[in-house]
Structure 1
């Protein structure tokens, strides 16, 4: 019975991931498909560039909430960090490759950071310190800025949650892959 519940939660997590804040804000409030504008990705950063701070904030909140919901359910059910990490991975996959949007979603940074906030909150402090260092060095943010995502799998590994660390490492690779155009073309 528990295996069936986990499978249903993983499927539900993917479905949550497909609810793309930037896309729906663009469609509902601006009557535009964000995937055809700017960086052509349905993410909070592109929404902010195209539609302003309110659209950025709205997309960020939707993407964070859609991550918190399945992870919160997993936490309340007492699921292991490993299974919760699988739920986070499912949300990320749904965000980047949403079936109803033809596989054209966002790049996954908000989902990744929201997952880290739930599962490894101390990693966000380490990420903030790394971001501060990157800003102080005045390095262009996109490529090097992805370094701020590295602490979560490292801290999970140090905490002996190696299965969750492996899943977060996979999530990190997926987010970097989703950014490959901007990382390698700057």
Structure 2
């Protein structure tokens, strides 16, 4: 399968925005005009409730897991291609064309990509989050510190390509949060 086709399909998958479609179809409202105006799981949960939060997480996770799993397991693509696919999904999530480049901030996509590509690093991330929360850190602060452990764990595993990929994905997620996207 063509590199460009895989990247284009991955971007299209990334553009499927759980918060937007749940808000639009179930509540007849545009999440991008409510609360923080972010089309992500956290804002969906604040505005529409726990079910919308969970639904958004599930949609955003599966739109990431499915193409990456197909690429890695069925198509056996190279690390460069799988990295480009993960990057395209994240970019599609944060800057979806059909939503005028107004999507989510990418945390669920980042974590779902780790589930497929770096499961041990995701476990370390979860443990870090648990420890930081036990130390009475705010969930947001603890979460940001915890997600930073993924590329560091990959470096310790000498998975340098994946560490570089997750460092890049992390920078994009942090920029999306910083800009108040």
TM-score, normalized by the shorter chain, greater than 0.5: yes
Residue matched to 2:38 = 41
2:45 matches 1:66: no
On the 8 A contact 2:133/2:142 being kept in 1, the answer is no
Size of the alignment, in residue pairs? 179
Residue matched to 2:147 = 149
How many angstroms apart in 1 are the aligned matches of 2:80 and 2:148? 18
Which runs of 4 or more aligned residues in structure 1 lie more than 4 Å from their structure 2 counterparts after TM superposition?
none
Match of 2:107 among 103, 106, 109: 109
2:84 matches 1:83: no
Residue matched to 2:17 = 20
- Could you report, residue by residue, the CA deviation over 1:138-163 in whole angstroms, capped at 9, with x for unpaired residues? 12222342111122222333333322
Change (3 A) 1:83 1:158: farther
Range with bigger deviation, 87-96 or 126-135: 126-135
Across the aligned residues of Structure 1 and Structure 2, the Cα RMSD in angstroms comes to: 1.5
Change (3 A) 1:81 1:156: farther
SS in structure 1 at match of 2:143: helix
Range with bigger deviation, 153-162 or 27-36: 153-162
- Could you report, residue by residue, the CA deviation over 1:88-117 in whole angstroms, capped at 9, with x for unpaired residues? 111000000001101110010000000000
On the 8 A contact 1:82/1:161 being kept in 2, the answer is no
Query: TM-score, normalising length from structure 2?
Result: 0.93
SS in structure 2 at match of 1:160: coil
The correspondence of residues 166-181 of structure 1 with structure 2, limited to 5 A, is 166-180=164-178
SS in structure 2 at match of 1:138: coil
Residue matched to 2:119 = 121
> How far apart are 1:181 and its partner, in Å?
5.2
On the 8 A contact 1:82/1:164 being kept in 2, the answer is no
